[in-house]
Amino acid sequence: MGRFTAAKFFKILVCGVAFVAVMGSAIKYLWNWLMPTLFNLPLITFWQALGLFILCKLLFGGMFGGGPKGSWKDKKLWRDKMAEKMKNMSPEEREKMREKLGKCWSHRGPWGEQWRHFEDELKNNPSNTDTSTHTHTETKEEKPPYQS
């Protein structure tokens, strides 16, 4: 690797300025083409378009990261790591972990349906002798008030 020279710095600076100019112009022209026609919104300037771009980057993430919730690769790595830990736990330890995680996340969280799938997989493939004695009891889920 070479040293960071003035030429490299100048090249990065020019590319950055070009990127900002292209993104600001693209957002401005797309907004001014679609939004006033579709939603009766006002036209925006180049600087407002850049502000909108920065706001969207902060809220939704994008090129240099996965946004506020992280990337799907990070989630998959965490899920695989937890599944490996669960395989080595006794049924009692798994139930304690499930109760702890249930307090943190709702039934649609990381261990909702996936937990049931994981337990079914363990029952069908009991490589760990402790898991064969574990029985899963289904609890009746309450329906939300808007459903009959």
72-112 tens-digit pLDDT: 667 778 788 888 888 888 888 888 887 777 766 555 555 55
- Give CA–CA dist 117/90, Å, rounded: 17
101-125 tens-digit pLDDT: 776 655 555 555 555 666 666 667 7
- Domain ranges in the chain are 6-60, 72-132
17: its two tokens: 């300025």
Contact 99, 133 (CB under 8 A): no
Higher pLDDT, 112 or 13: 13
